[in-house]
A = this chain, B = another copy of it.
Amino acid sequence: MYSKEELSAIIEDYIGRLPFPEEPDTLYEPIIYSLAGGGKRLRPLLALMACNIFSDDVKQALPCAAAIEVFHNFTLLHDDIMDNAAVRRGKPAVHRKWGANSAILSGDAMLIYSYSLLEQAAAELLPRMLRIFNDTSMKVCEGQQYDMDFESREKVSMEEYLTMISLKTAVLLAGATAIGALAGGASEADCKNLETFATQLGMAFQIQDDILDSYGTENTLGKKIGGDISEGKKTFLTTAAMEIADEDTRIRLAGLMHNKEMIADDKFARVLAIYERLGIREHAEKAVDEYTRQAIGALDALSVPAERTEPIRRLAMELLRREH
């Protein structure tokens, strides 16, 4: 079996060698720039690890793993236009560097490019691969739409919030893992179990993200903490607080979240005080633990010797113990 580091190197090498036409460079340069931006490459890593559980030949999962990563970077590119984000991974966002029109069109081409990588799947697996890829991609769009819709809404229920992060984040981890398992020759039942694993992992991962934004340190996070609160973003923490709080606290919290004049540190301290009183951090950590427990349970249900799942299990634990 391959170590995480070996698989990461294989992915980085493969993505670095993806062929693109030279012309029109105005179309392909932003794509190459996006893909060279780095990032954790978590999705293709999950795909290769899932493949590696069932097969020692992980190369067969590489094109599909890369397809998922290209798709993921396409969503970031278009999301950055929609959010008017200036920076992505420490570099100017594509729409800031090349303009919105160029970013729209290069994003479209990236989405098409991800499908062209699927052409390399074994013919007998292609129908199922394509179906997983389509279902996954469409759900990611739905998640982004809910995220945009929720921005302008006063209140979002916990159920709605969980649906949104499931679609926006967990589904793509699940799709990557299922496609990798399929390429490795997993049975239908094992694919299903790995999909469950990655879905639950994705939920835990996203809630952990929300926790770190308030309770991480600037040092380990690599950016200023409290960004979500200062932008008035809806997170697991705000959603839980709005559900638990009495009416007075709810009105005060909503007022704080909408306030654009207050000094960020002051706003952050006041929101954290409310969280503290309501036990929101503990509530969120319990949710992370519960999703993690379910993720691990799905791994235990696989029809393979436990040692085959060691690397992917270790990756999951690393992700959830991370401080950034």
Q: Which A residues fall within an 8 A CB radius of B?
A: 21, 23-24, 26-27, 78, 81-82, 100-102, 104-105, 107-109, 111-113, 115-116, 118-119, 123, 126-127, 130-131, 133-135, 137-138, 141-142, 144-146, 148-149
A-B contact pairs, 21 of them (CB 8 A): A24-B142, A26-B148, A27-B141, A78-B105, A78-B108, A81-B101, A101-B148, A105-B144, A107-B108, A108-B111, A109-B138, A109-B142, A111-B112, A112-B134, A112-B137, A112-B141, A116-B134, A119-B134, A123-B126, A126-B127, A130-B130
On whether the beta carbons of B27 and A142 are closer than 8 Å, the reply is yes
The one of B24, B78, B149 that contacts A149, using a Cβ cutoff of 8 Å: B24
**Distance in angstroms between the alpha carbons of A324 and B78 in the assembled complex:** 36
Question: A105 vs B78: C-alpha distance in the bound complex, in angstroms?
Answer: 8
Known: A24-B149, A78-B104. A126 touches B130 (CB 8 A): yes
Chain B contacts for A135, CB-based, 8 A: 116
Chain B residue numbers with a CB within 8 Å of A100 are: 100
Choose from B27, B81, B119, B146 the contact partner of A24 (Cβ within 8 Å). Answer: B146
User: Within 8 Å CB of A144, what residues of B?
Assistant: 105
Partner of A131, one of B108, B119, B127, B137: B119
A119–B115 Cα gap in the complex (Å)? 13
Q: If A78-B104, A108-B78, A127-B126 touch, does A145 touch B27 (CB 8 Å cutoff)? A: yes
In the complex the two chains form, what is the Cα distance from A116 to B27 in whole Å?
Answer: 25
Contacts of A26 in B (CB 8 A): 145, 148-149
Contacts of A78 in B (CB 8 A): 104-105, 108
